[in-house]
Homo-oligomer: A and B are copies of this chain.
Amino acid sequence: MPDAINPTLALLHRHRSIRRFTEEVVSDDDMTHAVAAAQMASTSSAVQAYCLIRVNDDAKRKRLVALTGDQIKVARCGAFLVVCGDTRRHRLVAERSGQPHHQNLESFMIATIDASLFAQNLAVAFESLGLGICYIGGLRNHPREVDELLGIPFGVFPLFGMCVGRPAEGPTARPRLPIDAVLFEESYPDDRTMLAALDRYDAHYVEYLKERDAKATPWSTRIAERFDHLEREELAVYYASKGASLT
């Protein structure tokens, strides 16, 4: 298996989302090294449309536990980070030079994609330092309250959180889609081919769950349930209120 090819590929393969951490605080050195490396990620025309807020304060962390859906790990990790799309710097320099500042879906996507590339480099950097991470999509549950708690102004869009810390568990990795359901040659496959690949995946996924005495629900069933209703219905109105344009 590719684990042996080089240390970085091996590191990527070892990734597991970590949900239980020791009490060790992430050091400023580790934080600085990881962020500096993360900033080297590609960014659209160097706009660097992202920022990171580290939350140490106990009371704020406790409030964030509640806001993210009672995720205790948000308080019990070595560092909690809020990853934001950031168009405010761009607004500030435009205002100062008296130029207009325009936004549309393209600029919102640039911020979202830039921030995500940065965040994934950050995750890899932390893991290279022996730390574990978990993304917290639940940060989008109550974004207005997150704004108020952290003084996040107009033009800055909280996207997700990240727990970081010394792992206190060693979970197994959930199997991913088979590569032929992800990487296509020349064109997108037809539905029949895709469904056949997903059937194989379901069988593999159920086998994995059974081995762990977990409820053997196929991936397909979980996915259909996940999208049979809407979640976070206020998000578009919220981001628009922060200066994003989704048109």
Contacts and interface: CB of A to CB of B under 8 A. Distances in A.
A188 B227 contact: no
Q: Which size bracket describes the interface of A in this complex?
A: 35 or more
A12 B37 contact: yes
A142 interface: no
A9 interface: yes
A74 to B, nearest CB: 15
B48 A104 contact: no
Given A53-B187, A150-B187, A151-B187, A47 B226 contact: yes
B194 A92 contact: yes
A236 B228 contact: no
A68 interface: no
A152 B75 CA distance: 43
Interface in A202-247: 219-233, 235-236, 239, 246-247
B105 A191 contact: no
A8 B5 contact: no
A88 interface: yes
B182 A228 contact: no
A172 interface: no
Interface in A101-124: 101-107, 109-110, 112-113, 116-117, 119-121, 123-124
Contacts of A225: 99
Contacts of A223: 47, 89-90, 93-94
7 contacts: A7-B128, A45-B222, A51-B183, A90-B226, A94-B228, A96-B195, A124-B124
Given A17-B42, A152-B187, 7 more contacts: A2-B32, A13-B36, A57-B186, A90-B224, A94-B223, A99-B224, A106-B233
